[in-house]
Structure 1
Amino acid sequence: MSYVGPDFDPPQPRRSRRGPLTVALTALVPGALAGWLAWQAVGDDSGGGSDRAVPASSSSSPGSAGPSSSSSRPSASATDDSKADTPSAPASSSSKPAASGSLKGKVVVIDPGHNPSNFRHSSEINHKVNIGTNWKECDTTGTSTNAGYTEARFTLDVAHRMRAILEKQGATVKLTQDGDRSFGPCVDERARIGNAAHADAVVSLHADGSASGNRGFHVILPASVHAGAADTRPIVAASRDLGEHIAGLFVRETGSAPSNYVGDGTGLVVREDLGGLNLSTVPKVFIECGNMRDTKDAALLTSGAWREKAARGISEGIVGFLHG
């Protein structure tokens, strides 16, 4: 997910910060101390600096079309191991209750950012939707690696892996889209899907499109928003708890470091400009798993083995949150 575009305005640039802030992470993520310590052991060879990213986000059901804008389609000839390592995905995106397991009775909604076909529907994804605080475009096409591996492919692959992991533990898992729509859904519809499912946890999957040298992951938490149809006040605390669990377990499983360009080294960022968070009535966070425009992060994001680790880290964070 990039910061320039519909649901993703750029935050103020921050300088990369490490050192004492790394130690502070253990206080922010008390349930995942082992994960943070594992990251410290791995270290971080990231560069510094900050920049704006290329567009990203997702879209919805047809509505009154707004001004049309062109969307470029990333090359399909990306060099990666995604096809070989991608697990076969069920044809349907409907939820599949599991019979037993520690998460029996729990509902998890996974929101794979963007849609592989969004680029074919520029007018639809550019029409405006109300996110409570203001109006924004339905969605964007998402970003990609320099070699053309798209964010939409990445998020759907990780979503499939997460679904398999969570269903084995008894959870009922629903995807907001499974590559089975011509475009979208829009950011407001994505929020409604989680709300209608009465989800115990919702995670929106993304990968950033920031400047080269900007590395690492960050989890986006909802700010306290009360405007129009948006009221996040009841979910702010629970969403932070969910985000902290995911951040800690993501570090432990992947060895990736928190972002060196947003979040001041904590891996946590609070936003009030995202419709998917503003309109949610259930605990929800976004995760930017890495920066697709940085060659070192791109090497991870295009690795099926690393995506399996990412799926496991996010899933285990959800499990820890749901177990309390």
Structure 2
Amino acid sequence: MNVYATDDPRSTLTPVSASPPDHDAPIAAAQYVDLGRLLSPDAATSAGRTVVVRAQNVVLAHTAARAGDDLDNGTLDGELAVVVTDDSPAFTVHVDGEEHLIDEPGLVVVPPGTSRLAVHGDGPLVRLFETGEPAWRERAVNAGAYALDHPRVTLLRRWPEPVGGRAVRFYRLAGVPDEPGRFGRVFRTRAFMVNFLPPQEGPRDPRRLSPHTHDDFEQLSLAVRGTYVHHIRTPWLNDSTGWRDDEHVTLGSPSLAVIPPPTVHTSAAVDPGVNQLIDIFSPPRADFSAKPGWVLNADDYPAP
């Protein structure tokens, strides 16, 4: 089920299933994490100001960073992605004896290995790790929800190595205007796809929502500004013991909704001020990747 307005760029998508989902498996419950409530702004260390949440293939670490913090990422087998918003502080990426200053919004990709972030101001920093990194996976506040893999979600198989080899890459949002026919500002890595949706002034028109489903992947909707109502409907299967009432969950920012397949879902901004969502997927979406011009760093990160 996909209900898009004719002027919604997603109305032109062709569904691509990475692997046949287990249609007999139970449908997982959606998860809602109020990051602001869980954060400890008075904690002395960055670890005490970090909330870790996971999905099937990705771990999200949200840190209320302060100037002078040294965020140790550990030694990673896969790439690290850092989501930098308008409210994030400047920081320096230290990796392989190199230093890379980041002082504007965008997406940073850090190659595998040992790295750390030296923070130069106060504000939120969001890091994305693969769930194959046990030191991060096991810190998740919702780890129990993934004690067993979710059979309806395609497991991550990394996409091809980046062109030009492994390196720190920074994709700036500045200079990337909204473009008719393109949905948001989309970047991908070998393991993740991040879509910076444009800020919205005021509530979303309730007559122009976009309920839709995904066959075999989760969607992580990270609210970085404003307030959203996440509307989620679980389809009825033969086993009525798994049926759920429709959900209409209101979350402020920062917050995260983990939306499982094949639930019907749409999110509506309701704050009178600025509202903004960032959507995260793992593995990268094949349908978005198939649209020419949608993935802004496709030349660096080729599709399979």
**Which structure has the highest helix share of the two?**
1
TM-score, normalization by structure 2 = 0.35
Normalized against structure 1, the TM-score is what?
Answer: 0.34
